[in-house]
Structure 1
Amino acid sequence: MTTLSIFRKVAVAEGISYLLLLFVAMPLKYWAGMPLAVKYTGWAHGLLFVMYIVILIMAWQEYKWKFTKTAMIGAASLLPFAPFIVDKKLKEEN
């Protein structure tokens, strides 16, 4: 398994966890009084976010990407749905 394939899988998982946090856990916390939804989903998302950044740095070094490309991919982790676009673009490149 290559660093890029691992990164793509983590990117998709991170994107899913972010959407779950924003659109499922947060409403459950504030509208249904279930704060544990955010606690556990947030913890999982945080772990996946750290993995995303670490593996991104590994891919940057291994594939010798330009800094701007790496920075854009890193910034994508902060936007809902953007990790899925990153995954698609990286898949098209290979």
Structure 2
Amino acid sequence: MNIENQVRAFKWISILEGISFLVLLLIAMPLKYIWQSPEMVQIVGMAHGILFVVYILGALLLYKSLDWTFKTLMIVCVSSVLPLGPFYVEKKYL
């Protein structure tokens, strides 16, 4: 896979991971803890978990391909646990 395709795929993963995190925090968690309906947390939580792992693996691949510094890699990885972090990464580093 060439570098342009890697970056394009990571952009999509970054956006999807960010959206899944926001849905988990803003919709699924309130449903579970306010309205005692935990079903959505299981579904969205699993999707977010898979996207998170793929995001971190993608960041590691791009670390080599884009010749990022270790600091940039750490910013990209830490951004994955911040609610709007993946959107920041997608705009600033890709």
1:88 aligns with 2:91: yes
Residues 21-72 of structure 1 deviation map (CA, whole Å, 9 limit, x = unaligned)? 0000000001111111100010000000000001111111111111000110
Partner amino acid for 1:20?
A: V
> Percent same amino acid at aligned positions?
38
Residue 82 of structure 1 and its aligned partner are, at CA, apart by: 1.3
2:39 aligns with 36
TM-score, normalised on structure 2? 0.92
Between the two proteins, the alignment pairs up a number of residues equal to: 91
Q: TM-score, normalised by structure 1?
A: 0.92
- Counterpart Cα distance in 2 of 1:64 and 1:36: 42
Letter in 2 for 1:3: Q
CA distance in 1, matches of 2:73, 2:45: 24
* Between structures 1 and 2, the one with greater helix share: 1
Deviation at 1:8, TM superposition (A): 1.0
**Residues 6-30 of structure 1, C-alpha deviation per residue, up to 9 Å, x if partnerless?**
1111011000000000000000001
Q: Distance in 2 between matches of 1:25 and 1:55?
A: 26
User: In structure 1, how many angstroms separate the alpha carbons of the residues matched to 2:68 and 2:88?
Assistant: 17
Aligned with residue 17 of structure 2, among 14, 19, 23:
14
> 1:49 aligned to 46, 49, 52, which one?
52
CA RMSD of aligned residues (A): 1.0
User: Residue type matched to 1:83 in 2?
Assistant: P
Q: Which runs of 5+ in 1 are unaligned?
A: none
